[in-house]
Structure 1
Amino acid sequence: MADQSGIAGGATAIQAPGGPGYGAQPPVGHGYAGAAPLPSGKATASMVLGILGLVLIPIILPIIALCLGVSAKRMADRGEGGGRGQAVAGIAMGWVGVAFALVGVTVATIQGISAM
């Protein structure tokens, strides 16, 4: 026998709060808990200067890229900012730029000595 709700046996239907088929909604305006922090300016500058140091000014820019990259990497490791990958890229390109500069200075010195 059905009662007024139309369910056999007299059972009543209970609807879950929030509507049918929906789970818990994320809080509004707070973003996701696992979102990575934005890259710091130091990390971005380190990477850009590392790239430019390979092309434009091979002695000064790679050294600046190394300093900024190490600082940004330490900040990212402490959780004070993001961009650890950019900082590591700036450090790597800084070392490559320093190596190219050293090779260039060595070659120029050898050529200068042999020309005498």
Structure 2
Amino acid sequence: MSENPYQPNQPQTPQGQYGSYNSPGGGYVPSAPPAYGYDATPQEAKSAATLSWVFGILGILLLPIVFGPLALWQAKKAERLGASATAGKVLGWISIALVIIGIIGAIILFVGMAADPSSF
């Protein structure tokens, strides 16, 4: 004899996509389904594009070695999600160029000091 798996006096654990058989009232009560047609991707893309722009500005003004790569990373994420992030990408590359120019300038300064310390 096979038993009915859904006996009213036995606790049940199967869960559906939108609800559970173990509701407080004893019956199947569906929860709210996801919103029809809602996609969070455009909002994430817009947020990533804005973050790339902010990181690009901070990279030029404060710490280009930190915020430049962050700007490029967020711009790439925004473009992968379908938003344009040209401003953040350009500002990120400018801040990385500033880092490179600063490193080259420091190397030239230290080589010059080592070659002729009396001139500094």
Following superposition, the deviation at residue 93 of structure 1 comes to 0.5
Residue 54 of structure 1: aligned partner: 60
- Superposed CA RMSD in Å reads 1.4
**Which residue identity is paired with 1:61?**
F
TM-score computed with the length of structure 2 as normaliser:
0.56
TM superposition shift of 1:73: 1.2
Question: Runs (4+) of structure 1 moved beyond 4 Å?
Answer: none
Instruction: Identify unmatched segments of 5+ residues in structure 1.
Output: 1-36, 77-81
Which of 41, 66, 69 aligns to 1:63? It is 69
TM-score normalised per structure 1? 0.58
Q: Which residue of 2 aligns with 1:112?
A: 110
Map Cα deviations across residues 2-53 of structure 1 (whole Å, 9 max, x no partner). xxxxxxxxxxxxxxxxxxxxxxxxxxxxxxxxxxx66621111100000110
Deviation at 1:88, TM superposition (A): 1.1
Q: Percent identity?
A: 35
Cα distance in 1, alignment partners of residues 90 and 80 from structure 2: 15
SS of aligned partner of 1:114? helix
Q: Which runs of 5+ in 2 are unaligned?
A: 1-41, 115-120
Higher relative CO (Cα under 8 Å, sequence separation at least 6) belongs to 1
